[in-house]
Amino acid sequence: MRLSLRFIIPLAIVLAAIAYAVVPLVDKLTLKWFVRDLDIRSTLVANTVQEPLLELVRAGSKNKMVAFFSRITQDERLFAIGYCDSSQNQLVATKTFPQGLSCRDIERFRDPGPQVLDSARGPLHVSVQDVEREGTRIGRLVLVHDMSFIQRRSEETKQYVFYFFVGLAAVVSLITVVIAQLSWRGWMQGFHALLRGEGLLRPAEKINVPELRPLARDLRSLIRDVKSEYRPRDEAQLTWTPETLRSILRQDLRGDDILVVSNREPYIHVRRGESIEVQRPASGLVTALEPIMRACSGTWIAHGSGSADAEVVDKNGRVAVPPGNPAYAIRRVWLTKEEEAGYYYGFANEGLWPLCHIAHVRPIFRTGDWNQYIEVNRRFAQAVFEEAKTDDPIVLVQDYHLALLPKMIREKLPDATIVTFWHIPWPNPEAFAICPWRAELLDGLLGSSILGFHTQFHCNNFVDTVDRVLEARVDRETFTISYGRKLTAVKRYPISIESPPSESLIRKTVADCRADIRLRHNLHPDHALGVGVDRMDYTKGILERFLAIERLLELQSRWIGKFSFVQIGAPTRSSIEQYQEFDAHVRALATRINNRFARGDYVPIILKIEHHEPEQVYEYYRAADVCIVSSLHDGMNLVAKEFVAARDDEQGVLILSQFTGASRELPEALIVNPYDIDQCAAALHVALTMPQNEQRDRMRTMRGLVQEFNVYRWAGRMLLDAASMRKRGRLLEKTPAQTRQG
């Protein structure tokens, strides 16, 4: 149908344009013909009346002449007749003769002058004919024809032409639709037949040519492969759900086992006196991967960092999770305090973290930390080797803690498909080059089959860095890097969240969340509320956010006592000095601002620096009027997407830093530069005064985006790419070595 419309609409436009051009043309032409007819008619009448007229002129009887003329004008079209003698001052005419048309005037109507006179009763055709006696002109006969019938006919002609084109358009459209439908159906049938291996293969079977049978078989299997690759790749057709992922695993990956490796574990067992509590850490990585693992099963290898982690595992360091509803296993890797200090706090978080986030904190590189980093990566590689059930597992390596792992896995399991995802930004080559072990890090990462980043910008930075630092072949068209006889594809996979969120997170209504949170903080039911949810990290722009709140209260005093901001801060990396200092700064700034604007019970900033479970965080998202994400630099930032996913009431405003990956996907947020305090204060005021329908329009678009590009799609795309890589690998293995080149 759409295809047909695509034909019909342009066709209708073309026909309308032709009609528009043709109708005036036809009109002009018919007018010309009619005028010519009237000319001929006038000459005929003049010739016919010549004799009797000469008699009447000779007799000099004007009355008789008028009576004669009146008889002739009985003709319905001949409207008036007049006679002018040669002295041009004697006009003898019928009563109908146009007033104001004198014997002198008639001169201008002589051929080839204009023959149409505009009168009060419409256009008149005026023809002036000589009256001669014995070859001498004695006067002029003026014949005036009524032209209104021409106008009537012209109208009719226009109508007929118009109907003709409408009819033509309908007929041509009908023919076009029929032909288009027939050929589309035929083409599609042909295509389907081709995909089924018919058409091409049947004739070979029918004519029973045994030589062609192997070719037919190969072709059929190739078509099957193409088909299976083609179907799930048609991303627009799919709503990405856990079931979609499961079917990719079943069909495209033939049920192959999945191993996820990350530093952070999704469930942490913590001892609280006599009992053991399970915590879910504040981590974008965990938020994204946990639903994937619930859908796919498999094993998640991670550092066992909880105080009671060792108490709940089996002899292989494994525990089934989620607690109470197990769907997959965590395999815990144990680290000593020294290892954790060097690998996690030291090299990963004092070195790589500030190196990759341009947040003006100087990276610290210590050789001791680097050695621990190598050692711990080796420990993770050993765990992968132990957990792999086959020689060619699919291993999803996560983040900057494990940059050396891909190559280490490749050495132990050369046939593994290793998909590494770098969750933080990748800086430009100059910035990265200050790392003393830059080449080793790149060498480790290029053990991956696929290396993923959130944005194309980070992919470009990585490829540029490799180009600068290593002797590698970089293909910028396919975005692949060939290094040490091994190919790595560098790809963009913007990470996301589970959307719609799980039922437990949005069970409580928005109205209840609003009322309960305000009650909890002793606020009026109409009190405006902002929320920020972050790890207490200097990259998150929490200080800048507070300064913007202070500026808002300075500039718009109406918000003093009417607006508060809840900052949820998850404690993080607290044994690192910069983090301790940052924590102290945040608290001090909040206190200073609160002291400045406090009125009775009222404080503008409510600090909640403690661990919050996802249900508690969602309650704040749903209670807030505005959420601020003001990172100074962030790979993606999933808080922005969580806030959007939480707002099924389509209300609430998101203020989002332009330095997050999320800002590229959510332009309907109020995008700000967190370093520009005045701009952020203004954005806050705009957010707090934004009409409900504008909030709805923005929120609806953002929710659509987050739902469409949810975390199942993120993981699904990586798994599909891994699947086609494996398929290609298998095909290559079957190809004889001498034909492999090129």
With respect to ligand F6P, which residue has the nearer C-beta, 97 or 345? 345
Query: Strands 626-629, 528-535: parallel, antiparallel or unpaired by DSSP?
Result: parallel
* Residue placing its CB nearer to ligand F6P in the complex, 285 or 590: 285
**Residue 567 touching ligand F6P (CB under 6 A):** no
Strands 563-570 and 605-609: parallel
Give just the sign of the alpha carbon dihedral 201, 207, 208, 213: negative
Output the smallest distance, CB 571 to ligand F6P, in A: 9
Alpha-carbon distances, residue 466 vs 347, 430, 444, 471 (angstroms): 20, 12, 12, 8
Tell me whether residue 109 or residue 714 sits nearer to ligand F6P (CB atom).
Answer: 714
C-beta atoms surrounding 104 within 10 Å: 11
By C-beta, is 218 or 613 nearer to ligand F6P?
613
Q: Is 303 in the site for ligand F6P (CB under 6 A)?
A: no
CA angle (357 as vertex; 370, 546 as ends), nearest 5: 130
We find the least distance from the C-beta atom of residue 621 to ligand F6P, in angstroms, to be: 17
Q: Cα 300–306–312 angle (5° rounding)?
A: 70
Q: Which stretch binds ligand F6P (CB under 6 A): 173-181, 230-238, 282-290, 657-665?
A: 282-290
Residue 617 interacts with ligand F6P (CB under 6 A): yes or no:
no
| Closest CB to ligand F6P among residues 186, 571 | 571
The residue (of 232 and 661) whose beta carbon lies closer to ligand F6P is 661
- Kindly state whether residue 573 participates in binding ligand F6P, applying the rule CB under 6 A: yes
CB of 281 to ligand F6P, least distance (A): 6
Taking CB under 6 A as the rule, does residue 423 contact ligand F6P?
Answer: yes
| Angle, CA of 74, 75 and 77, to the nearest 5° | 130
Give me the least distance between CB of 416 and ligand F6P, in Å please.
23
Distance from C-alpha of 92 to C-alpha of 95, rounded to nearest angstrom: 10
Q: Decide the pairing of beta strands 473-475 and 480-483.
A: antiparallel
Question: Using the rule CB under 6 A, which residue among 82, 98, 284, 604 binds ligand F6P?
Answer: 284
Q: What are phi and psi of 116, to 5 degrees?
A: -110, 130
Report the nearest approach of ligand F6P to the CB of residue 348 (Å). 8
Q: Does 283 bind ligand F6P (CB under 6 A)?
A: yes
Q: How far is the CB of 629 from ligand F6P (least distance, A)?
A: 13
Q: Does 302 bind ligand F6P (CB under 6 A)?
A: no
Q: How far is the CB of 423 from ligand F6P (least distance, A)?
A: 4
Find the part of the chain contacting ligand F6P (CB under 6 A) among 155-163, 230-238, 279-287, 365-373: 279-287
| Per-residue binding letters, 391-420, with ligand F6P (x by CB under 6 A) | --------x---------------------
DSSP at 32: H
Count of residues that bind ligand F6P according to CB under 6 A? 11
Q: Which is nearer to ligand F6P, 140 or 573 (CB)?
A: 573
Q: Which is nearer to ligand F6P, 424 or 490 (CB)?
A: 424
In the bound state with ligand F6P, the residue whose beta carbon lies nearer, of 285 and 517, is 285
Q: Which residue is nearest to ligand F6P (CB)?
A: 285
Amino acid at 647: R
> Among the candidate windows 134-142, 225-233, 277-285, 294-302, which touches ligand F6P by CB under 6 A?
277-285
What is the β-pairing status of strands 480-483 and 91-93?
unpaired
Residue burial 64-93, b: 16+ Cβ < 10 Å; e: rest = ebbebbeebbeeeebbbbbbbeeeeeebbb
Instruction: Look at phi and psi of residue 479 and say left if phi exceeds 0, alpha if psi is from -120 to 50, else beta.
Output: left
The closest of 354, 270, 353, 348 to 312, measured between CA atoms, is 270
Q: What span, in angstroms and rounded, lies between the C-alpha atoms of 435 and 484?
A: 22
Q: Is the Cβ of residue 410 or residue 454 nearer to ligand F6P in the bound state? A: 454
Q: 3-state DSSP helix/strand/coil percent for the chain, to nearest 5?
A: 55, 20, 30
**Chosen residue from 245, 424, 654, 699 binding ligand F6P by CB under 6 A:** 424
Token pair 């405006």 in the structure block, residue = 528
User: Closest CB to ligand F6P among 23 and 715?
Assistant: 715
Residues in the site for ligand F6P, rule: CB under 6 A? 263-264, 283-285, 399, 423-424, 572-573, 635
